[in-house]
Chains A and B, each alone.
Chain A
Amino acid sequence: MAESSKRPHSAPSLDPRLTHAHQLVRKADKLTTLSFFNWWPDWTQATPLYEQAATAYKLAKMLEEAKTCYEKAATGQERLSSPWTAGKHMESAGALAKELGRIDETVVLYRRASELFLECGKAQPSADVLGRGARAVEDESPEVAIRMYLDACAMLEEDGREQMAFDTYRAVVNLYIKLNRFKDAAALLVRWGQAADKCHATQSQCKAYLSAIIVHLYDEDLKQAQQCYNDCSQMDVFYKSDQGETAEKLLSAYGEESSDEIKHVVDSSYIIPHLDHMIVRLAKQLPKGELKTIFPVEPSDDKLNEDDLT
Chain B
Amino acid sequence: MSTIDLLKRVNGIIEKYEKYDASTPKERPANASQDYFMKLYRTIEDDLNDVLKKVEEVEHERNRAVIATLNAEVRRSKAALRLELLKLHKLAQKKVKGVIAEEILTRPSMALALAARIEEVPDGVNAIRKKNPANGQPLEIRIDNYSPDDIMRSGAGREHSVESKGFSDEYELRKIKQDEGLEAIQQGLTTLKDMAHDIGEELSRQEQLVDEADTKTDQASANMNTTNSRLKESVTAMRSSRNFCIDITLLVIILGIAAYLYKALKK
Interface of A toward B, CB cutoff 8 Å? 78-79, 81, 83, 119, 161, 163-164, 183-184, 186-187, 190-191, 193-194, 197-205, 209, 212, 224, 227-228, 230-235, 239-240, 242, 248, 270-271, 274
Q: How many B residues face the partner with a CB closer than 8 A? A: 38
Query: What is the CA–CA distance of A209 and B76 in the complex, to the nearest angstrom?
Result: 15
* B42 interface hit (Cβ, 8 Å): no
**A228: chain B residues within 8 A (beta carbon):** 68, 72, 75, 124
* B127 interface hit (Cβ, 8 Å): yes
Tally of A-B residue pairs with Cβ under 8 A?
102
B72 contacts A186, C-beta separation under 8 Å? yes
Query: What is the CA–CA distance of A233 and B75 in the complex, to the nearest angstrom?
Result: 17
B4 contacts A83, C-beta separation under 8 Å? yes
A230 contacts B79, C-beta separation under 8 Å? no
Contacts A231-B71, A234-B125 supplied; 20 other A-B pairs, CB < 8 Å: A81-B3, A163-B204, A183-B75, A183-B79, A187-B69, A187-B73, A191-B69, A191-B73, A193-B68, A193-B69, A199-B204, A201-B201, A203-B201, A205-B65, A227-B71, A228-B75, A228-B124, A233-B129, A271-B190, A274-B194
**A212: chain B residues within 8 A (beta carbon):** 72
Query: What is the CA–CA distance of A194 and B58 in the complex, to the nearest angstrom?
Result: 14
Query: What is the CA–CA distance of A83 and B128 in the complex, to the nearest angstrom?
Result: 53
Quick one: which of B184-220 are within 8 Å of A by CB?
186-187, 190-191, 194, 197-198, 200-201, 204-205, 208
A234 contacts B75, C-beta separation under 8 Å? no
- Output the residue of B126, B187, B194 with the most chain A CB within 10 A: B194
**B76: chain A residues within 8 A (beta carbon):** 183-184, 186-187
Chain B residue at minimum C-beta to C-beta distance from A209: B68
- Output the residue of B4, B65, B194 with the most chain A CB within 10 A: B65
* B67 interface hit (Cβ, 8 Å): yes
A230 contacts B204, C-beta separation under 8 Å? no
Query: What is the CA–CA distance of A266 and B68 in the complex, to the nearest angstrom?
Result: 25
**A240: chain B residues within 8 A (beta carbon):** 135
Chain A residue at minimum C-beta to C-beta distance from B194: A274
Query: What is the CA–CA distance of A183 and B125 in the complex, to the nearest angstrom?
Result: 18
Contacts A193-B65, A194-B69; is A81 near B201 (CB within 8 Å)?
A: no
Query: What is the CA–CA distance of A83 and B69 in the complex, to the nearest angstrom?
Result: 36
Whole-angstrom distance between the Cβ of B213 and the nearest chain A Cβ: 12
Contacts A187-B76, A227-B124; is A234 near B67 (CB within 8 Å)?
A: yes
Q: Which 5 residue pairs are nearest across A and B when measured between Cβ atoms?
A: A197-B65, A190-B72, A203-B197, A270-B190, A231-B68
Contacts A81-B4, A119-B4, A270-B186; is A230 near B128 (CB within 8 Å)?
A: yes
Whole-angstrom distance between the Cβ of B193 and the nearest chain A Cβ: 8
B4 contacts A78, C-beta separation under 8 Å? yes
Could you show 21 A-B contacts with beta carbons less than 8 Å apart? Answer: A163-B205, A183-B79, A187-B73, A190-B68, A193-B65, A193-B69, A194-B66, A194-B69, A199-B204, A201-B205, A202-B197, A204-B201, A209-B68, A224-B75, A228-B124, A231-B67, A234-B64, A234-B68, A235-B65, A242-B190, A270-B186
Query: What is the CA–CA distance of A80 and B124 in the complex, to the nearest angstrom?
Result: 53
Query: What is the CA–CA distance of A240 and B135 in the complex, to the nearest angstrom?
Result: 9
Whole-angstrom distance between the Cβ of A206 and the nearest chain B Cβ: 9
B69 contacts A190, C-beta separation under 8 Å? yes
**B3: chain A residues within 8 A (beta carbon):** 81
- Output the residue of B2, B76, B80, B125 with the most chain A CB within 10 A: B76
**A194: chain B residues within 8 A (beta carbon):** 65-66, 68-69
B208 contacts A163, C-beta separation under 8 Å? yes
Whole-angstrom distance between the Cβ of A274 and the nearest chain B Cβ: 5
* B123 interface hit (Cβ, 8 Å): yes
Query: What is the CA–CA distance of A105 and B198 in the complex, to the nearest angstrom?
Result: 38
Whole-angstrom distance between the Cβ of A168 and the nearest chain B Cβ: 13
**A201: chain B residues within 8 A (beta carbon):** 201, 204-205
**A183: chain B residues within 8 A (beta carbon):** 75-76, 79-80
Query: What is the CA–CA distance of A121 and B66 in the complex, to the nearest angstrom?
Result: 28
**A79: chain B residues within 8 A (beta carbon):** 4
Whole-angstrom distance between the Cβ of B14 and the nearest chain A Cβ: 17
- Output the residue of A83, A190, A193, A199 with the most chain B CB within 10 A: A190
Chain B residue at minimum C-beta to C-beta distance from A228: B72
Chain A residue at minimum C-beta to C-beta distance from B193: A242
Query: What is the CA–CA distance of A81 and B191 in the complex, to the nearest angstrom?
Result: 51
Quick one: which of B120-138 are within 8 Å of A by CB?
123-129, 131, 135
Contacts A81-B2, A234-B129; is A227 near B205 (CB within 8 Å)?
A: no
